[in-house]
Copies of this chain bind each other. A is one copy, B any other.
Amino acid sequence: MTGFDMSRWSQAYLRSVEEALSSWVHAHAPAGLGEAMRYAVLDGGKRLRPLLVMASMEACSQGRSQAWMADAAMRAACALELIHAYSLVHDDMPCMDNDVLRRGKPTVHVQFGEAQALLVGDALQTLAFELLTPEQSDIPPAIQARLCGILARAAGHAGMAGGQAIDLASVGVKLNIDQLRQMHRCKTGALLEAGVVMGAVAAQALPEVMPHMLQFGQALGVAFQVVDDILDVTADAAALGKTVGKDAANDKPTYVSLLGLDAARTEAARLEEQAQVALSQSGLKDTQALQALSGWVLQRQN
C-alpha cells in the first residue's frame, strides 16, 4: 500500500464526478426544472457512492482496462448519485421527514416549492437511467442493460424505496436488531452495495470476484447506516450539514436507540472488519481506494 495517496486519488475523482454531474444535469430542462435539479445535485454531497463505483472499477479492471470502462463507470457513478439525490429531495418533503436543511442549504421544497421538488426528484431518477443508456457510445449494450438492471433493483421496491416504506411504517414501532438491519440494508445499503457491484460490472470483473465484491458492498452499506445513526445523536448540525436528533425526535428506531451508543460503535467496527475480510478474499490487488473508503465510512464525522 506504500505510495498510495488517498487524498490525491479522491480529489481527482471528485473533480471529474462534479464536472460530469454538472454537464449531465444541465439547465436546459424547461420552466426552472433544470436549475432546481442542479440545485439538488451540485455543490454539496460527499459523493461516497460515485467514489465507490470508481474505486471498484479500478480494483476489478486489473490492468484489462479499456476506454469505454472509464465512461461506463463514470455514468454508473453519476447515475447512482442522481438516485441518491432524488431520494434526499423526496425524503425531505413535508409529507416525509419535513426537513428544511440539507448540506447546509435550504432543502429543495423550501427553495422551489413542493410541486417542483416532487418533479425534481422524479426527473433525477429518470435521468439516472438516461445516463446509463447513451445514444452514441462504445459501452457494450450488455453492460448498459446490466447497469440499468442493477440500479433499478437497488433503488426500487426491493431496495431503497422498500426500505423507506419499512422506515415509514416503523415510526413508534419496536423493531428487533434483525428487522432494523433488514430495513437499513434496503434503505441505505442497497445503493452503496450497487455502487460496488456497478463498478465491478463496468470493469467486466471476473465472475469469481463478484461474490466478494457483493459481500464487501453489503457490509459497507450497513456500516454506513450504523454510523449515520451514531452521528444523529453525537454530531452537531454545522458539521453534519443537516438537522440532528431527528430520528429520536421522530421516534424512529435506530441502532443507537436499540443497542445503545457503545454497542452501535462495536457493530460498526464489526461490519467494517467484515468488509475488509471480503476484500482480501477477493484476491484483487489494487484495493487501496476501496479500503480507504471503507475506513472513512467508520471514521467520518459527517
Interface residues of A in 208-234 (CB under 8 A from B): none
**A134 proximity list for chain B (CB < 8 A):** 149
**A116 proximity list for chain B (CB < 8 A):** 165, 168
Complex contact A126–B156 (CB within 8 A): yes
Q: In the complex, which range does the number of interface residues on chain A fall in?
A: 35 or more
Judge whether A61 is part of the interface by a CB distance below 8 angstroms.
Answer: no
Main secondary structure of the interface of A (DSSP, over half): helix
Q: Mind listing 27 A-B residue pairs with CB under 8 Å?
A: A28-B158, A29-B157, A29-B158, A30-B162, A31-B170, A32-B169, A33-B157, A33-B162, A33-B165, A95-B114, A95-B115, A96-B118, A119-B168, A122-B125, A122-B161, A123-B156, A123-B161, A126-B152, A126-B155, A127-B157, A130-B149, A133-B152, A141-B142, A141-B144, A142-B142, A145-B145, A145-B148
Complex contact A152–B127 (CB within 8 A): yes
Complex contact A31–B168 (CB within 8 A): yes
Interface residues of A in 194-219 (CB under 8 A from B): none
Of the listed residues A135, A168, A170, the one surrounded by the most CB atoms of chain B closer than 10 A to its CB is A168
**A34 proximity list for chain B (CB < 8 A):** 157
A176 to chain B, nearest CB (A): 15
Task: Please give 6 more A-B residue pairs, beta carbons under 8 A apart, in addition to A29-B161, A29-B162.
Answer: A30-B186, A31-B170, A32-B169, A121-B122, A133-B145, A135-B149
A142–B146 alpha-carbon span in the complex (Å):
11
Complex contact A161–B126 (CB within 8 A): yes
Judge whether A108 is part of the interface by a CB distance below 8 angstroms.
Answer: no
**A49 proximity list for chain B (CB < 8 A):** none
**A164 proximity list for chain B (CB < 8 A):** 119
A181–B19 alpha-carbon span in the complex (Å):
34
- As a 0/1 sequence over residues 128 to 140 of chain A, the CB contacts with chain B under 8 angstroms (1 = contact) are 0110111100001
Judge whether A290 is part of the interface by a CB distance below 8 angstroms.
Answer: no
